[in-house]
Amino acid sequence: MARQLRPAAKRTGFDGQVIKPGAPAPAGTVAVGSTALSPTEERHPRSMNLDRLPLRAAIELMLSEDRKLPGALLAERERIEQGVKLVARSLQRGGRLFYVGAGTSGRLGVLDASECPPTFRTPPELVQGIIAGGQRALWEAVEGAEDDTGAGARAIQFRGVSRKDVVVGIAASGRTPFVWGALREAGRRGAKTVLLCFNPQLEIPRPHRPDLVLAPNVGPEILTGSTRLKSGTATKLILNIFTTLAMVGTGKVISNLMVDLNPSNVKLRDRAVRIVRELSGVDQATAKAALEKSGWTVKEAMRRLKP
């Protein structure tokens, strides 16, 4: 199937305006464009008959497409490694990690951020998710929120982002104005900036280019334009890598054990006991007693058990 192309000269600013050939970009915009339609918007040749496929065949089709994701991400492993290093350095020097996105991208950022306090005993402000439209956008669409460049910038201002921090903008097509507003303001404040998108054909003017652009090619979605599918899954995989390996780099993991988890419920307290037993060799009762005396802090319990 022939690829659908955009006119080569068409450029789009932060606010979604089309910039005419030869015309300067309007003030406050960045002429982000590409010579072809983003893969996230192309029609997938294997799913043209999705509405007529037998259910089992449709399931196999979707899973076979997801199976391609690790290969697409492995092709970008050097840039993913750079992203992990940027996050780890920021956390090591007292900075914070911010995820910024709209829709599915924003929700996935909030999800990853919300998992860090129980998993790594981090303060809630260390890793933060910013979603266009605010809290309401977590469970329903907030119309027009992703098109507000100024709101993205104000979100960064409100959180006092500084040169110690790193801001990861997540936008499947690479064009979301809210995300670009946040990235531009973060860069102006000296923070490290990362764009995670799935449009390898994106063209970004050098003055506005983030410190790192991650643009794996995961191809078109089975349901055209529905980036909650492969793009969403790939986003989740990359954010998992960012926070997990950055936390490994900051000493919150020993072997493959979460030694800084926050045992806030029965399941996690049982896990904490197992971790202490694995690392110290003591029996269950001794491990539990050490944790209780240490306020259920694994590292402190380990110090108590040292001979």
* Helices 284-293/266-280 angle, 10° precision: 110
User: What is the enclosing helix (H) or strand (E) of 170?
Assistant: strand 166-170
**Sign, CA torsion 160/163/164/169:** positive
CB contact at 8 A, 145 and 132: yes
Angle among Cα 154, 158, 162 to the nearest 5 degrees reads: 100
115 catalytically annotated? yes
Residue with tokens 């909650």: 228
Marked catalytic residue, from 41, 42, 115, 300: 115
| DSSP-derived secondary structure for 20-71 | PTTPPPPTT---EE-SS--GGGSPPGGGTTGGGS-HHHHHHHHHHHHTTHHH
Residue 32's alpha-carbon distances to 134, 162, 176, 271, in angstroms, are 25, 25, 10, 47
Closest C-alpha among 197, 28, 38, 18 to residue 9 = 18
CB contact at 8 A, 264 and 118: yes
Residue with tokens 């020097």: 93
Marked catalytic residue, from 41, 125, 143, 146: 146
143 catalytically annotated? no
> Which active-site residues does the annotation give?
115, 146
